[in-house]
């Protein structure tokens, strides 16, 4: 029995203290590990929130850019449609009689010192723009248009004196045979 007591009571005071010291060190290490894990979890959570916020901001910027892109595409399509419509509206099929009447009118126009600066036409009317040197020259042009037999309707659209003393004018003319002129977009 003696052997049995010696083998079971093998706790010397220095071994007991060493065991307690290792237990305390283990608990400290365990506590430090738990704190490090908690701090790492907290840091990872903050990083995840930061990246989620950045992701949300990037998504919002992307949506804004897509919206702007869509609006620009719509404006481009609208501009192209307007250009096509304007192109069709400005293209006019003019009869030979009407062209002859216009050239005859321009050849007989009583401009002595003044000049024509523009000519525009549509299916409905002609617009003549020009400059006259004096009031009397403008009045002659106006009377000429009033008395010209091929002109069905006459309108003075603009009249303004210029700083150099010239008179700027614009007449809208409709010829008698303009009723037969057709716009190309009506033909197509």
DSSP of 102-142: HHHHHHH---SS-EEEEEEE-SS-EEEEEEESSHHHHHHHH
Instruction: Note whether 81 and 8 are same-domain residues.
Output: yes
Residues 172, 181: Cα–Cα separation, whole Å: 16
Instruction: Note whether 28 and 114 are same-domain residues.
Output: no
Residue 99: name the closest of 54, 150, 28 by CA: 150
Residue 163 CB-half CA count within 13 A: 0
158 or 30, higher pLDDT: 30
Residues 181, 173: Cα–Cα separation, whole Å: 14
pLDDT at 185: 35
Tell me which of 61, 90, 119 is where a domain ends: 90
- In the chain, the number of structural domains is 2
Q: What is the pLDDT of residues 117-151, one digit of tens each?
A: 887 877 667 788 888 888 888 888 888 888 877 77
DSSP state letter for 163:
T
Does the model's pTM come out above 0.85?
no
Tell me which of 33, 66, 90 is where a domain ends: 90
Give me the domain span that covers residue 16.
1-90
Contact 102, 174 (CB under 8 A): no
Instruction: Note whether 104 and 177 are same-domain residues.
Output: yes
pLDDT at 124: 66
- For residues 44, 48, 49 and 52, what is the CA-based torsion angle, rounded to 10 degrees? 170
Instruction: Note whether 131 and 56 are same-domain residues.
Output: no
Q: What is the pLDDT of residues 64-107, one digit of tens each?
A: 999 998 898 898 889 888 888 876 655 556 667 777 777 777 77
Residues 129, 135: Cα–Cα separation, whole Å: 16
Tell me which of 56, 90, 124 is where a domain ends: 90
Instruction: Note whether 29 and 96 are same-domain residues.
Output: no
């Amino acid at each position: 029995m003696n052997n049995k007591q010696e083998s079971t009571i093998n706790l010397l005071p220095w071994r007991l203290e060493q065991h307690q010291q290792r237990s305390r060190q283990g608990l400290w290490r365990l506590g430090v590990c738990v704190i490090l894990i908690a701090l790492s979890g907290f840091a990872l959570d903050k990083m995840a929130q930061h990246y989620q916020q950045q992701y949300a901001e990037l998504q919002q910027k992307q949506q804004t850019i897509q919206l702007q892109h869509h609006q620009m595409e719509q404006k481009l399509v609208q501009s192209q449609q307007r250009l096509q419509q304007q192109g069709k509206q400005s293209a006019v099929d003019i009869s030979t009689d009407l062209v002859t009447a216009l050239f005859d009118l321009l050849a007989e126009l009583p401009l002595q010192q003044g000049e024509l600066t523009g000519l525009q036409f549509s299916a409905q009317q002609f617009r003549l723009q020009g400059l006259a040197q004096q009031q009397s020259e403008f009045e002659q042009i106006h009377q000429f248009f009033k008395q010209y037999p091929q002109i069905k309707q006459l309108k003075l659209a603009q009249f303004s004196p210029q700083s150099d003393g010239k008179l700027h004018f614009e007449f809208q003319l409709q010829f008698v045979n303009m009723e037969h002129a057709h716009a190309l977009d009506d033909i197509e």
